[in-house]
Amino acid sequence: MITQHESHPQSATTQELDDIAPLQPMLLFFLNEVLHANLRISLMKRNLVELELLLQGRVSSVNDGGMNSLMNALAIGKVPEQWEAGCAEPALSWISDFIAHVRALHLRAPEVTFATMPVFWLPHLRNSQALFAALKLVAAAKEEVSIDDIHIEWEVSKKSYVAGQISPFRSSSVGSSVSYCVSFGGISLIGAQWSPFTQVLEDCHPDSINQLPLISARACFKPSSVDGPSHQPSDAGFSIGDYECPVYADATRSHLLFTMKLKSLVHTAKWAMIGVHAVLSKGASRLPT
């Protein structure tokens, strides 16, 4: 089970105590992730104990068809429906991913402060939308404004994801305005590729899957005008400047997670017409041992 680390408020500075309340949305996000992981661990433990009793002959039969389906799934290396419905990933890699997810929660949750934030491997998160919603809520609470005044800007860096990284959470942008940032990896682009030199979308083989570098989501004040000089609106609703790239849970595109803006030097209708999109990357990113 994942346990919460003990805190010592008496040793905290006044500034740290003032930061606790605005950080609550981010702490609740981690708490929900921890609770979900604990529930899944309990279910897996109970199922495996029952299966062991069955294989040892300590129970004569299993009336519940669920145990039979669990045993059959594990026998052929599939993820049981009880653990994750509709999962086509092999059981061995799924379990490795889940272990990495639990370790990330256990090691990284205590680093949630205004000074630092863990760099996330997005496929490990159960609810990535909640991460970005919590980010906006923290920014709105800290700046004492409505959440409607806050939006998220996306920035693709030139750095590759490295497990165990931390990054600054609060930073000053142009004009001394404050932004709140979480960084993450684990996104693969399909239908286009990202140029590390020009920092824009480029053509590639239609079937290629291209790993994106580290991405930053910055919660900051909305600009006074949505359409700046770098945007050229068209009647079709697209523009030259930013492509609203959809990010899906997997290649089936049945579950849209969120959309993020990627820079383009050509009309973004081109990327929409050829179906450029992103999916969560397969495979676990290992934390250092």
The predicted-structure confidence for 235-281, as pLDDT tens digits, reads as follows 444 446 789 999 998 888 888 999 999 999 888 899 999 999 999 98
CA dist 54 and 48 (Å) reads 10
* Ramachandran class of 254: left when φ > 0, alpha when ψ lies in -120 to 50, beta otherwise: alpha
pTM of the model: 0.74
Query: 17-280 domain in CATH 3.10.490.20?
Result: yes
CA dist 73 and 76 (Å) reads 6
Return the structure tokens found at 57. Answer: 């002959």
Angle at 143 between CA 139 and CA 146, to 5 degrees: 75
pLDDT at 174: 52
Better-predicted residue by pLDDT, 115 or 221: 221
Task: Tell me the mean pLDDT in the region 3-12.
Answer: 46
CB 196 within 8 A of CB 158: yes
- Per residue in 67-117, pLDDT tens? 888 888 988 999 888 888 777 778 888 888 888 778 777 766 666 777 788
CB 141 within 8 A of CB 219: no
